[in-house]
Amino acid sequence: MTLEPWPTRSIWLWAVLTVGFVGLFLARFPTVSTFDNFLFADWGANLTVQALLDRGEQPIVDYFYPYGLLPLLLGRFGFGLFEKTPQTYLGFMVLSHVFAAWGMARLASALRVGVPGVVFLIVTIPYALPSTHPSLSHALETVLICHALAEQARGRRHIALALATAAVLTKPSMAYVLGLVLLGFIARELIGRTSDRLREGWSQIRPAFLTALGFGVVLAVVFGIRPLIGSILPLQVASLYRDADYGFFFGTGRRFWLPDNAGVRHYLGTQLGFWLASTVALIAGGLRVLALAIRREGRDARNESLSHGHVREIVLTCAILHMSFLCFFFAGEVSWLYYSYLLILGITALGGLGAPWPLVVAILATLALVADRSIPGEVVAAWDGGSFSADSRGLWTSPEQQAEWQEVLRRVEGHPTAVLSMAGAAPVLYPDHFLPSVTLFLLPGMEGTIDTHRMARHIQSAELVLVPTRSAQGMGVYPFLLGCPELRLALNAKDPIWKGSSYAIYRTGEDESRDKDFSPGSICRKDDFESLDRPEHPSAPSVTP
C-alpha cells in the first residue's frame, strides 16, 4: 500500500483526528454541557476563579488553587475577550482538541510510523482524549505535552524542553517527569562528546530557561510572587491525594482495573481490556528499548523499519510517563482518561520499531475497534430526556431538574444566600440570587484551612445556604460539606428547610455560631466537634494534580 508523502499525510491525519475529537465532543454535547457540572463541580471553577481574580484575590494565598498560573493568564484573555460563560469555556475545549490533534499528527509524521501506527491513532480517537476537560489546566497541559513529544520526535529536544517548562507552569505534575526525561537524553548525548559540552548543553536548555524566565516574570507581575512559587510546588494537592485514598495500585483507582464482580466479558467488552493490553505492550516496548540502550546497541542495531532515529526515544519516553501516571498521578476510577493520550502516542510509536511491533499495534487497533461498542448507545442516551434552556443558562438539564431548580430560585429570591459546594459557578451564573463565591474548591482533607474558614464566615453572613446533595460526578462530596467541623458549626442546622432530589436549602443559625472562632488551626481543637459524626471515607472530588 502506497501512501502520500508524510508532510501531506500529516495534514490529512490532523484533519481526521480533528474531525474525530470535535465530532465526539458534539455528539456528547449534553454530557459536556451538563448543568450541575458547571454550577457545582470542576467545570464551573474555571469561571469562579476568574471572578475571584476580578476582585483582586490571589490564588493559593487567599484560596486553594491546585494548578499552574499560565491557564489563569489564558483565561484572563479569553474570558475577557468574550464572556464568563460555560459556552466560552466549551469553546476553549474545542480549540484544545484541534491543537492536540495537530501535535499528535506531527508526532506520527516525524516518526513515520507506517500504516499500523496511523490506523491505530485513528481508531483510538474515542480513547485518546476525554470529550471535554475539567479545567483549562488539563486542556492546555495536553496540548503542550503533545507538541513537546512531537518536537522530541523531530530531534529538537531543546524546543521540547521549553514546552515542558510551559507545561510545568500550567499543571505541575507530569511535565516535571517529561522535563527530567528530556534532560536525561540531553545529558546522555553530551557525555559522548569530547568537546564543547558546556556550549552545547547551554544551547539545549536555553529555550527552557528563557521560557521560565519570560513567563515567570509575567505571571509574577500579574498574580504575585507567592502564588507563582506556590503553584510550582503543589504540596497541598499531594496531601489531598493521600486523604482521598487515591492511587492505581492500592487506592480507589483499583476500582477501574479491578471492579467488583467483573468477569472476562467485562474486560473484553469495555475499554478496560484495550487499556490494560496497551499498557502491557507499551511497558514491554519501553523495556526492550531500554535493554538495547543499556547494551549500547541503540546506534548500531537500526533496522530497515526504524526509518527515524527517535522512535525508540519516544517509545521509552511515553512508557516512563505512563508508568509515572500509574504510580504517582492516578486518582479515582475515572482518571484513566486524563493521560490516555500518552498511552495512545506510545503505542503509535511502537509501530516504527520493526517486527514484531507493527503486528502488536495492529492487534491493539483491532481490540480498540471491538472492545467498547457502547459509544452509540451513550450518544443516544445523552440526547434523551433533556434540553438546553435559557433558564439553565443554555446548559443541558432534564425537565425534572429544571423544575426543581426554578423552585430553588423562587425560594432563595430576596434572601442573602450562600452556596456550599465542592466547586462550581452558581454565584457567577446567577449573581442576583446568590452571594459571590469566597472559595474555589472545598475538598475532603481541607478541614482547618483558610478555605473552610472563609466559607464558614461566608455562611454566617448569609440567611440561607444552598447545598447540592447529589454530586454532578457521583463523587459524594456532600458528606464532607456537612461533616466538616467548621462548616457544620457555621451552618448550625441538622435538617434543611427544603429538600428536593438534587438540592437542599438550609437556614443559618442565629445563636452561638455567630460568635464562634473559625480561624484556621483553632477550629479543630474546640470541644464542639468531639461528638460530630464524620464520614469514614468521604469520596474525593475530581481535582487532579
Distance CA 192, CA 209 (A): 24
- Give the angle subtended at the CA of 137 by the CAs of 150 and 438, to the nearest 5°: 175
Q: Classify residue 524 by its DSSP letter.
A: G
CB atoms within 10 A of CB 311: 26
pLDDT (0 to 100) of residue 213: 97
- Looking at residue 5, what is its pLDDT? 54
Residue 245 confidence (pLDDT): 73
The residue written with cell numbers 507545561 in the block is: 167
How many CA atoms are closer than 13 Å to the CA of 517, on its beta-carbon side?
9
Q: How many CB atoms lie within 10 A of CB 372?
A: 18
State the pLDDT at residue 471.
55
Q: Which helix (H) or strand (E) holds 464?
A: strand 464-468
- Taking only the tens place, the pLDDT of each residue in 229-276 is 999 987 777 777 776 778 888 878 888 888 877 777 777 777 888 999
How much of the chain is in helix, strand and coil states, percent to nearest 5? 60, 5, 35
C-alpha cell recorded at residue 234: 503543589
Q: How far apart are CA 8 and CA 112, in angstroms?
A: 12
Write out pLDDT tens, residues 25-41. Answer: 999 999 999 999 999 99
- The predicted pLDDT at position 329 comes to 87
**Residue segments in the chain with a per-residue pLDDT below the cut of 70:** 1-8, 192-194, 243, 296-309, 373, 471-478, 493-494, 509-545
Orientation angle between helical segments 311-324 and 340-350, nearest 10 degrees: 150
Q: How far is CA 298 from CA 81, 132, 182, in A?
A: 50, 39, 17
State the pLDDT at residue 104. 97
C-alpha cell at 70: 499560565
Nearest CA to 57 out of 448, 490, 454 is that of 454
